[in-house]
C-alpha cells in the first residue's frame, strides 16, 4: 500500500482508507449503504490491515453513533496498527447544543466519540460541515485545546467552501493554532467541482484531500448503463433522490470511456474510477467502502498500478463539464495560472 503525507503535516496515511458508513444501518438512509455488525466489521478490518489499508473513517452522525461503536468494538487489540479519523458538527440530538462547531458541542462530541470508539485519542478529527453561527476563532481555539489535551492529533474539515477553509487557515496562522491539514471532500469522475477552487487552494495551502464517495454515490460501479437502471438493494436505487446531481447521458459517456480502459487494462470499472482519483493533485487518501469481503478486495485492487497518461486524458475528456465562474474566465488567461496548470 502506498502511503502519502497528509497535506503539509508529517502524518502519513494510506492511499486508500476504509469508510464505516456501512456499519450499523441505524436508519433507512444508512441501511441503503449497509448494515455491517461488529463481527462483520472485525473481519473487514482484518482484511484491510492485511492489505495495508490502515486508516478508518467514521462520524458521530453515522447511524447516530452506532458506526463508531461498531468500529470501536472491531479494533480492540489492533489500535496500534491503525489510524482513526472521525467527524463531528452535524446534529446528534434534539438539544440546542447538539450540533455545530461551538466549544460546547465539540468538546462534548469528542468525549462521546472517544467513549464509543474505546480509544484515548482520535488521529484525525474533521468538522463535518460549515457552521456559520459559530465564530471561527471559537472553533479553532477549541480544536487547539483538544490537541493540547492529547484527545486529537490532527484536525481537518469536510464539505467546506473555499472561502471558509481559507478563513480558517488564516485564523490558525494568526493565533498559532493547529491548521486544517485535510479536507474530506466529495470528488469523482461524475462530479469534478472539487477541481475548480478547492484543489488549487489545497495545493497552495498544503491541505490534503480525503475523498468520500469516490464512485459517485454508487453510480460508477458499472452496474448502471443505457437500458440498465439501478437495481433494488443498491444505494443508487433505494435512495435515488439523495446525493450529488448528474446528467444521465454524461454518466453513460463516462462508463463508455471506462469500458474502453477496462479492455486495455483488465481492471474493473470501480478500480479504474479509484485509480483516476489517486492520480489527481492534492489527493492524499480515497475512502472506499464495502458491504462484504469480495467487494473490499476488489476496491483495494485500485492500487499497485497506474492508468497511462492517454487513459487519464480519455477519462478527463469523457467527464469534462463547463466550469463555473470565475474559473471559466480565468482559463482564458493561461499565463496567469499558477505554474500554468489546468484548473
Please name the residues in contact with 260: beta carbons below 8 A apart, sequence gap of 6 or more: 314
Instruction: Tell which residue, 339, 273, 233, has the closest CA to residue 16.
Output: 273
Task: Please confirm, yes or no, whether 132 is among the known catalytic residues.
Answer: no
**Gap between the Cα atoms of 317 and 321, Å rounded:** 9
The secondary structure of 39-62 as a DSSP string is: HHHHHHHHHHHHTT--EEE--TTG
Beta carbons of 42 and 3 less than 8 angstroms apart: no
CA 102 to chain centroid: 23
Helix (H) or strand (E) holding 127: strand 122-127
Please give the C-alpha separations between residue 3 and each of 21, 201, 234, 312, in angstroms, as whole numbers. Answer: 23, 22, 31, 22
Catalytic one of 62, 154, 186, 187: 62
Beta strands in 53-121 (DSSP E): 55-57, 83-88
Beta carbons of 14 and 54 less than 8 angstroms apart: yes
- In degrees, to the nearest 5, what angle opens at C-alpha 178 toward C-alphas 174 and 183? 110
Please name the residues in contact with 196: beta carbons below 8 A apart, sequence gap of 6 or more: 323, 324, 327, 343
**Gap between the Cα atoms of 101 and 208, Å rounded:** 21
Please give the C-alpha separations between residue 101 and each of 106, 153, 219, 320, in angstroms, as whole numbers. Answer: 6, 18, 32, 35
CA 285 to chain centroid: 8
The residues assigned a catalytic role are 62
Amino acid at each position: 500500500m502506498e502511503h502519502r503525507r497528509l497535506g503539509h503535516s508529517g502524518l502519513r496515511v494510506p492511499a486508500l482508507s476504509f469508510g464505516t458508513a456501512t456499519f450499523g444501518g441505524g436508519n433507512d438512509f444508512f441501511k441503503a449503504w449497509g448494515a455491517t455488525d461488529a463481527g462483520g466489521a472485525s473481519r473487514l478490518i482484518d482484511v484491510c490491515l492485511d492489505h495495508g489499508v490502515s486508516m478508518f473513517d467514521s462520524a458521530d452522525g453515522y447511524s447516530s453513533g452506532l458506526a463508531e461503536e461498531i468500529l470501536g468494538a472491531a479494533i480492540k487489540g489492533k489500535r496500534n496498527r491503525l489510524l482513526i479519523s472521525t467527524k463531528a458538527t452535524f446534529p446528534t440530538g434534539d438539544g440546542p447544543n447538539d450540533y455545530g462547531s461551538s466549544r460546547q458541542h465539540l468538546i462534548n462530541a469528542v468525549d462521546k466519540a472517544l467513549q464509543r470508539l474505546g480509544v484515548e485519542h482520535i488521529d484525525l478529527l474533521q468538522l463535518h460541515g460549515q457552521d456559520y453561527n459559530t465564530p471561527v476563532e471559537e472553533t479553532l481555539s477549541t480544536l487547539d485545546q483538544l490537541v493540547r489535551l492529547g484527545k486529537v492529533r490532527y484536525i481537518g474539515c469536510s464539505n467546506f467552501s473555499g472561502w471558509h477553509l481559507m478563513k480558517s487557515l488564516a485564523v490558525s496562522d494568526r493565533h498559532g493554532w493547529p491548521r486544517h491539514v485535510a479536507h474530506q471532500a466529495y470528488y469523482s469522475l461524475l462530479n469534478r467541482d472539487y477541481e475548480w477552487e478547492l484543489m488549487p487552494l489545497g495545493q497552495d495551502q498544503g491541505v490534503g484531500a480525503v475523498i468520500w464517495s469516490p464512485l459517485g454515490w454508487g453510480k460508477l460501479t458499472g452496474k448502471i448503463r443505457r437500458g440498465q437502471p439501478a437495481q433494488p438493494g443498491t444505494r443508487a436505487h433505494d435512495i435515488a433522490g439523495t446525493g450529488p446531481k448528474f446528467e444521465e447521458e454524461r454518466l453513460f459517456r463516462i462508463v463508455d470511456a471506462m469500458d474502453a480502459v477496462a479492455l486495455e487494462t483488465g481492471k474493473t470499472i470501480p478500480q479504474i474510477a479509484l485509480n483516476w482519483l489517486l492520480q489527481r493533485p492534492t489527493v492524499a487518501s480515497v475512502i472506499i467502502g464495502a458491504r462484504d469481503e469480495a467487494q473490499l478486495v476488489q476496491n483495494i485492487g485500485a492500487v499497485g498500478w497506474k492508468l497511462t497518461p492517454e487513459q487519464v486524458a480519455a477519462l478527463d475528456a469523457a467527464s469534462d463539464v463547463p466550469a463555473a465562474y470565475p474559473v471559466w474566465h480565468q482559463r482564458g488567461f493561461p499565463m496567469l495560472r499558477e505554474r500554468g496548470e489546468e484548473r
